[in-house]
Amino acid sequence: MDAKQLAAAVVDAHMGDLVALSHDLHAHPETSFEEHRSAAAVAGMLEGFDVTTGAYGMPTAFSARAGSGPLTVAVCAEYDALPDVGHACGHNVIAAAAVGAGLALAEVADDVGLTVLVLGTPAEEGGGGKILMLERGAFDGVHAAMMVHPWPSERLAGRCLAVSHFDVTFSGREAHASAAPWEGVNALDAMTVSQVAIGLLRQQLPPGDQVHGVVMEGGVAANIIPGTVRGRFMCRATTVAGLERLDLRVRACFDAGARATGATVSFEELSPSYSQMESDPALLAAYRANAERLGRSFTLDDEGAPLPTFSTDMANVSLALPTIHPLIAIETNGAVNHQHAFAAACVTSSADAAVRDGAVAMAWTAIDAVTRQELRDHLLA
């Protein structure tokens, strides 16, 4: 039995546990930096690995290492969920597939000359866990990084936008809305002026730039002039440089709301900025061949269909070392990521099949990385 056959056999032998892990994470969703149960469950599956929990200064991050070969491949496990909609981005599938790939690679690592690193990466949904881990040395000495992400269609990559996450707080002064409104400074008006300014700004934004947000706190009663109003916003652009330009223009809109009403405005950064993604072509070609061997099809890529648009902190990793982040299809009956219906789709037989195919395809790609001379030379260069 060759290394790829053995890797697939290991995944198949663990499928019951991998599916159980995926479903367990789905049933107990935890949001960014609060994934204590999830991180423990994922790390606990990596028997035979040298596991460090609470890694890189984050209680819900972990590092698990096996093998001692000269080429190191990192498989990233995401497991944070979204507020309200739970695992509507399928991070339960991502984590289980990462564990499957890790277990498979640990079995063959010393035979093929590989070191496998499974990284538990918290807070992808707005916290920038991988960026913090990158800054703190998690990817030092790593030659390639990979993960798979559930999506309604099979795609090699997406159109990954740089993004910033921040809270905006307007502070004014409460007053009786009927008896003495002139005594108040309306923080909600400041937010409204800002949102109108952003709406008008959109006409002048270059293609790819996006601004979106929600009001988290908008006042307490209709007859009280709101004294404190808070919103959560995201700016996206095609590059980090473009994001910096967009951020300045959007924050000027919030400044305008403050100036127009007499309120004060403050900003709180929720995470480091996410960058654009630059997938490694050679590594991605190897993944494609392996996924196609498993019956996956990339027809939409071949037809030149528009790329899906999203953001991920895996993008920052891609600027530091060869990285791939392919999208693996699950049956969603028309639902898209971040919908309740997509969350429901992430514990179906189709999602379970994505756990298996994602794990095997990543394991085979890592084996190619160390056994195919041209790919190995490329990654070690």
Domain containing residue 363: CATH number: 3.40.630.10
Query: Taking all residues of the chain, what is their mean pLDDT, rounded to a whole number?
Result: 97
pLDDT in tens, 330-360: 999 999 999 999 999 999 999 999 999 999 9
Percentage of the chain lying above the pLDDT 70 cut: 100
Q: What are phi and psi of 72, to 5 degrees?
A: -110, 125
The answer to whether residue 25 scores a pLDDT higher than 80 is yes
Q: Are 354 and 329 in contact (CB under 8 A)?
A: yes
Q: What is the pLDDT of residue 1?
A: 75
22 lies in the same domain as 138: yes
* AA letter at 95: A
Q: What is the pLDDT of residue 44?
A: 98
155 lies in the same domain as 171: no
Q: What is the pLDDT of residue 221?
A: 97
Residue count of the chain = 381
Q: Given pLDDT bands bounded at 50, 70 and 90, which one contains residue 82?
A: very high
304 lies in the same domain as 354: yes
Mean pLDDT for 14-20 is: 98
Using CA atoms of 25, 367, 129, 87 in order, give the dihedral in degrees to the nearest 10: -30
* AA letter at 151: W
134 lies in the same domain as 223: no
- Domain encompassing residue 201: 166-269
The answer to whether residue 75 scores a pLDDT higher than 80 is yes
142 lies in the same domain as 29: yes
132 lies in the same domain as 50: yes
Mean pLDDT for 133-138 is: 98
217-228 burial code (b ≥16 CB/10 A, e <16): bebeeeeebbbb
Could you tell me where the DSSP H helices lie in the chain? Answer: 3-13, 15-27, 36-44, 91-112, 129-135, 187-201, 240-261, 281-293, 299-303, 314-318, 340-345, 349-371, 373-380
Q: Given pLDDT bands bounded at 50, 70 and 90, which one contains residue 314?
A: very high
> How many other C-beta atoms are found inside a 10 Å radius of the C-beta of residue 47?
11
DSSP state letter for 291: H
Mean pLDDT for 193-198 is: 98
Q: Given pLDDT bands bounded at 50, 70 and 90, which one contains residue 122?
A: very high
Helix (H, G, I), strand (E, B), or coil: what is residue 105? helix
Q: What is the pLDDT of residue 211?
A: 98
Q: What is the pLDDT of residue 358?
A: 98
Spatial separation of the C-alpha atoms in residues 163 and 126, rounded to whole Å: 9
The residue out of 209, 238, 269 marking a domain boundary is 269
293 lies in the same domain as 374: yes
Mean pLDDT for 267-279 is: 97
322 lies in the same domain as 245: no
43-to-36, 98, 100, 117, 122 alpha-carbon distances in Å? 11, 11, 12, 12, 12
156 lies in the same domain as 188: no
Spatial separation of the C-alpha atoms in residues 154 and 329, rounded to whole Å: 5
pLDDT in tens, 215-269: 999 999 999 999 999 999 999 999 999 999 999 999 999 999 999 999 999 999 9
Question: How many separate domains does the chain show?
Answer: 2
List the beta bridge partners of residue 215: 231
Helix (H, G, I), strand (E, B), or coil: what is residue 202? helix
pTM above 0.95, yes or no: no
Q: Which residue has the tokens 């809305």?
A: 177
> How many other C-beta atoms are found inside a 10 Å radius of the C-beta of residue 5?
11
